């Protein structure tokens, strides 16, 4: 069943709606963005969707798997994705973009976060300095190939995320509702490498996207919004359609 990440969540209500309808990952943006969230609200979301007694041990994923240097890329990313799903609750992910490591580590501790998403041009090696599993974005533009440097490096990021490169957006990438060619993503699944896919997804097209690209998971932000606010009906429809595909 397809993993679903609802990103750009800024309210407890939206987070609870996502969690109650089966979202696997709830993303909160800590980089400059119209969807920027403050620490106190993120902490309220964490309290609302993560049971107080739950042990936060997602960080063990990378610590354990980094020792398996002989794993191939398909084996490594499959093992990472399986461990992430073993927690049985929505994971909280903080999205950062070309920000200082100290800032990222501070937010991880304060919220606290289960995952970090590096959505800029950070080197893949940065993931080794972060104490929770890392989702690393690779922006799909006209010159993109799946052999892009760092994509299949093991022992760093735990999850590959493909998102559309939007040249007009400049440094602020992500959340623009622009699609890329899904057959590019399909070339990853043909290699048996699990990955997340974002970029212009919505309740209306996620079924087709999953069938074409066969991703491990899908990631949505603007596609479940109305007037720039998360829409409960769209969140529910997106999750249902993605998991039914």
What are 234-245's pLDDT values in tens digits?
999 999 999 999
Q: Which two tokens stand for residue 39?
A: 């620490």
Whole-prediction pTM: 0.92
- Of the candidates 182, 189, 244, 180, the one whose C-alpha atom is nearest the C-alpha of residue 216 is 189
d(CA 105, CA 135): 15
Assign 95 to helix, strand or coil.
strand
For residues 196 and 5, is the Cβ–Cβ distance under 8 A? yes
Q: Tell me, what's the pLDDT at 54? A: 64
pLDDT at residue 136 is higher than 80: yes
For tokens 């212009």, the residue is 200
Condensed to tens digits (0 to 9), the pLDDT of residues 153-180 reads: 988 999 999 998 775 444 454 445 678 9
d(CA 210, CA 158): 21
C-alpha separations of 178 from 58, 148, 167, 220, 239 in Å: 31, 21, 11, 11, 19
For residues 136 and 157, is the Cβ–Cβ distance under 8 A? yes
Condensed to tens digits (0 to 9), the pLDDT of residues 105-126 reads: 999 999 999 999 999 989 999 9
Q: Which two tokens stand for residue 210?
A: 């999953």
């Amino acid at each position: 069943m397809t993993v679903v990440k609802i990103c750009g969540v800024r309210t407890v209500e939206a987070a609870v709606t996502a969690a109650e309808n089966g979202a696997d990952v709830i993303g909160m943006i800590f980089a400059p963005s119209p969807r920027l969230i403050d620490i106190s609200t993120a902490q309220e979301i964490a309290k609302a969707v993560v049971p107080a007694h739950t042990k936060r041990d997602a960080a063990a994923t990378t610590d354990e798997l980094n020792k398996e240097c002989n794993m191939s890329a398909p084996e490594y990313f499959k093992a990472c994705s399986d461990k992430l799903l073993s927690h049985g609750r929505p994971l909280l992910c903080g999205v950062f973009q070309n920000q200082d490591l100290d800032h990222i580590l501070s937010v991880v501790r304060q919220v606290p976060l289960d995952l970090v998403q590096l959505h800029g041009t950070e080197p893949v090696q940065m993931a080794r300095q972060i104490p929770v599993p890392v989702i690393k974005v690779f922006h799909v533009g006209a010159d993109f190939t799946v052999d892009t440097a760092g994509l299949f490096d093991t022992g760093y990021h735990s999850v590959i995320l493909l998102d559309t490169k939007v040249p007009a957006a400049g440094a602020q990438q992500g959340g623009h509702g622009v699609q890329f060619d899904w057959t590019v993503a399909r070339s990853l699944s043909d290699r048996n490498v699990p990955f997340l896919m974002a970029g212009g997804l919505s309740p209306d097209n996620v079924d087709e996207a999953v069938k074409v690209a066969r991703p491990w998971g899908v990631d949505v932000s603007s596609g479940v919004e109305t007037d720039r606010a998360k829409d409960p009906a769209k969140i529910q429809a997106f999750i249902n359609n993605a998991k039914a595909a």
